[in-house]
Copies of this chain bind each other. A is one copy, B any other.
């Protein structure tokens, strides 16, 4: 037997040898924040119409009810639960973002590891380690195929194409795959990697992460049962890297494994919409607050943004909530007129609010090629000609200006109380923050069930 080498093998070895005790304190902490944030988002999304539709469609096919559908007082088999929970985690696009990798990594990995934790006993520390490693692999993989933005970072859903592998790595570690099995699991997941950006603005936006989570989890169980894949899923000829990128950079996959951590760069969204809109919301909310602006007195809003912001969110009149998530006009209008940018501001009622509809037409968005994705320059002209200006360089929730633990807590509570009530929310938040000490991570799910 010759030793198996290459990126796929190196990743498998790294994932298996790295335990919770091996994670640097800062990595544990950011993994924990990622986990806390995404569980809150999952509770918050649990009753969304898209999840209702999915459950109507899939319940008739579900297996024995061993796994919790978060926030729904229902159970199904682990694969179905993984799909539904991951869908809920991202349906409001309120989740998390690794900005450089253009990916929302936590949801699919969470869906997979929680499902495993109801099939076998998994300690909180082990779950958190697997979860953090899954995020690490997904982000590295995305960077490996997105180094050349013009060649695909917009075309593919990076979350869709990369997170199945992350979920497979995390689940595979928990269910005890050996190195070969983990290579196979990641290969099976890579062969089902999918997601196209055209789906933005529809329920499918959240179905791509959901599919990633479920296919990754299934890949791990398939590999456990002896199902095989090619050994070099990432680096092989016609492998993942060459298929998804014209200029793959495999070094992002393996350089500095164990010393450099992409998981540290995960960030959390303060507003439930496309992250490139966030600096604009910051600017609008600040101007509203500082000048007590009356929306009816606004004649025009001009905003300069990074090119990627317009590429993704230049949608002036969204037809519904899902299109609204990627409409910079809707969120600027809501922030200026209402002084808020929460889930209600993205709901169908707000999308159709005649005041906001009219306001959207007063906004002009342009590109500033030198603007970073977490910045914007905004100018508001009032009737009578007074001009108010605000520059944002690192919006709230960016890497440089991250949400605090307290802000994450407020965000969690805001979403969760409406679904499972305050007592369960308080308990669940405490258990999430303290997951490291849980002997059995499934305890979380009993609370999260609602």
Are A191 and B78 in contact, with the CB atoms below 8 A?
A: no
Known contacts A196-B239, A204-B230, A232-B198, A57 near B224 by CB under 8 Å = yes
Are B226 and A53 in contact, with the CB atoms below 8 A?
A: yes
CB within 8 Å of B: which of A258-272?
none
Known contacts A61-B78, A63-B62, A228-B204, A233 near B53 by CB under 8 Å = no
Known contacts A192-B211, A195-B191, A229 near B204 by CB under 8 Å = yes
CB closest residue in chain B, given A152: B243
Are B230 and A199 in contact, with the CB atoms below 8 A?
A: yes
Contact partners of A200 in chain B: CB under 8 A: 230, 238
Contact partners of A201 in chain B: CB under 8 A: 230
Say yes or no: is A197 at the interface (Cβ < 8 Å to chain B): yes
Say yes or no: is A85 at the interface (Cβ < 8 Å to chain B): no
Separation of A256 and B194 alpha carbons in the complex (Å): 30
Say yes or no: is A437 at the interface (Cβ < 8 Å to chain B): no
CB within 8 Å of B: which of A198-231?
198-204, 207-208, 211, 215, 218, 221-222, 224-230
CB within 8 Å of B: which of A175-207?
184, 187-188, 190-204, 207
Contact partners of A204 in chain B: CB under 8 A: 187-188, 191, 227-230
Are A229 and B242 in contact, with the CB atoms below 8 A?
A: no
Name A191's contact: one of B63, B79, B207 (CB within 8 Å).
Answer: B207
CB closest residue in chain B, given A194: B194
One of A16-24, A153-161, A293-301, A334-342 at the interface = A153-161
CB closest residue in chain B, given A234: B198
Say yes or no: is A170 at the interface (Cβ < 8 Å to chain B): no
CB closest residue in chain B, given A82: B61
Name A53's contact: one of B50, B194, B227 (CB within 8 Å).
Answer: B227
Are A57 and B191 in contact, with the CB atoms below 8 A?
A: no
Say yes or no: is A354 at the interface (Cβ < 8 Å to chain B): no
Are A160 and B202 in contact, with the CB atoms below 8 A?
A: no
Are A226 and B61 in contact, with the CB atoms below 8 A?
A: no
Are B215 and A187 in contact, with the CB atoms below 8 A?
A: no
Say yes or no: is A56 at the interface (Cβ < 8 Å to chain B): yes
Q: How far apart are A103's CB and chain B's nearest CB, in angstroms? A: 16
Name A187's contact: one of B61, B157, B202, B218 (CB within 8 Å).
Answer: B202
Say yes or no: is A291 at the interface (Cβ < 8 Å to chain B): no
Say yes or no: is A423 at the interface (Cβ < 8 Å to chain B): no
Separation of A187 and B207 alpha carbons in the complex (Å): 11
Separation of A49 and B227 alpha carbons in the complex (Å): 9
Separation of A201 and B242 alpha carbons in the complex (Å): 18
Q: How far apart are A228's CB and chain B's nearest CB, in angstroms? A: 5
Separation of A207 and B192 alpha carbons in the complex (Å): 9
Say yes or no: is A60 at the interface (Cβ < 8 Å to chain B): yes
Are B196 and A194 in contact, with the CB atoms below 8 A?
A: no
Contact partners of A198 in chain B: CB under 8 A: 187, 190, 230, 232-233, 236-240, 243
Contact partners of A228 in chain B: CB under 8 A: 50, 202-204, 322
Say yes or no: is A58 at the interface (Cβ < 8 Å to chain B): yes
Q: How far apart are A123's CB and chain B's nearest CB, in angstroms? A: 22
Say yes or no: is A54 at the interface (Cβ < 8 Å to chain B): yes
Contact partners of A374 in chain B: CB under 8 A: none
Say yes or no: is A77 at the interface (Cβ < 8 Å to chain B): yes
Known contacts A54-B225, A225-B56, A322-B228, A243 near B188 by CB under 8 Å = no
Name A54's contact: one of B57, B184, B193, B222 (CB within 8 Å).
Answer: B222
Q: Which 4 A-B pairs have the closest CB atoms?
A: A197-B238, A57-B225, A198-B239, A194-B194
12 examples of A-B residue contacts, CB within 8 angstroms = A53-B225, A54-B225, A60-B63, A61-B78, A156-B243, A184-B202, A191-B208, A192-B211, A196-B233, A196-B240, A198-B240, A202-B229
